[in-house]
A = this chain, B = another copy of it.
Amino acid sequence: MDASVELNAAYARLAARFERIAILGETEAMLGWDAAAIMPPGGAAARGDQLATLAGIAHGLLIDPAVAADLEAASAEADALGSDWERTNLALMRHEHARATALPTDLVEAEARANSACEKVWREARETADFALVAPYLRTVLALVRERAAALSDRLGLTPYDALMDLYQPGIGAADVEPIFEGYAAFLAATLPRVEERQRRAPAPIRLDGRFPAEAQEALCRELASRAGLDFAHARLDRSAHPFCGGTQTDLRITMRYDESDPAQAMLAALHETGHALYEFNLPGAFARQPVGRSAGMAVHESQSLILEMQAGRSDPYLGWLSTQLVRSFRGADEAGPAWAPSNLARLWRRVERGFIRVDADEMTYPAHIILRFELERALVAGDLQVADLPGAWAEGMQRLLGIAPPDDRLGCLQDIHWFEGMFGYFPAYTLGAMAAAQLMEAARAQLPELDRALARGDLVPLTAWLREKVHAQGSRLGFNELLLAVTGRKLDPRAFEAHLLARYLPG
Contacts and interface: CB of A to CB of B under 8 A. Distances in A.
Interface of A: 20, 23-24, 26-27, 30-31, 34, 38-43, 45-47, 49-50, 53-54, 57, 231-236, 247-251
A46 B235 contact: no
A247 B40 CA distance: 11
A249 to B, nearest CB: 7
Contact of A43 (B31, B34, B234): B234
Nearest to A27: B50
A53 B251 contact: no
11 contacts: A24-B53, A26-B46, A26-B50, A27-B53, A27-B54, A30-B31, A40-B233, A40-B234, A40-B235, A42-B233, A46-B249
Contacts of A233: 40-42
Contacts of A41: 233
Contacts of A40: 232-236, 251
B23 A250 contact: no
A54 B27 CA distance: 9
Contacts of A38: 236
B236 A23 contact: no
A71 to B, nearest CB: 22
A485 to B, nearest CB: 33
Q: Please provide the 10 A-B residue pairs with the shortest distance between their CB atoms, ordered closest to farther.
A: A43-B251, A42-B234, A42-B233, A23-B53, A46-B250, A27-B50, A42-B250, A41-B233, A23-B49, A26-B50
Nearest to A23: B53
Contact of A42 (B23, B27, B49, B251): B251
Given A40-B235, A42-B233, A46-B250, 5 more contacts: A23-B50, A26-B50, A27-B54, A40-B236, A43-B234
B236 A45 contact: no
A53 B234 contact: no
Given A34-B34, A235-B40, A248 B27 contact: no
A247 B43 CA distance: 10
B43 A250 contact: yes
A250 to B, nearest CB: 5
A232 B54 CA distance: 26
A27 B32 CA distance: 11
Nearest to A232: B40
A397 to B, nearest CB: 43
A38 B253 CA distance: 11
B43 A248 contact: yes
A57 B23 CA distance: 12
A415 B22 CA distance: 39
Contacts of A31: 27, 30-31
Contacts of A30: 31, 34, 50
A34 B31 CA distance: 10
Nearest to A42: B234
B53 A20 contact: yes
A42 B248 contact: no
A246 B248 CA distance: 22
A231 B20 contact: no
Contacts of A50: 23, 26-27, 30
A221 B38 CA distance: 19
B236 A42 contact: no
Select the residue from A34, A46, A50 with max chain B CB neighbours within 10 A: A46
A231 B42 CA distance: 9
Nearest to A233: B42
A267 to B, nearest CB: 22
A27 B34 CA distance: 11
Nearest to A39: B251
A46 B289 CA distance: 10
A54 B26 CA distance: 11
Nearest to A52: B23
Nearest to A56: B20
A46 B54 CA distance: 17
A39 B50 CA distance: 20
Nearest to A238: B38
A38 to B, nearest CB: 7
A46 B234 CA distance: 11
Contacts of A26: 46, 49-50
Contacts of A57: 57
A386 to B, nearest CB: 41
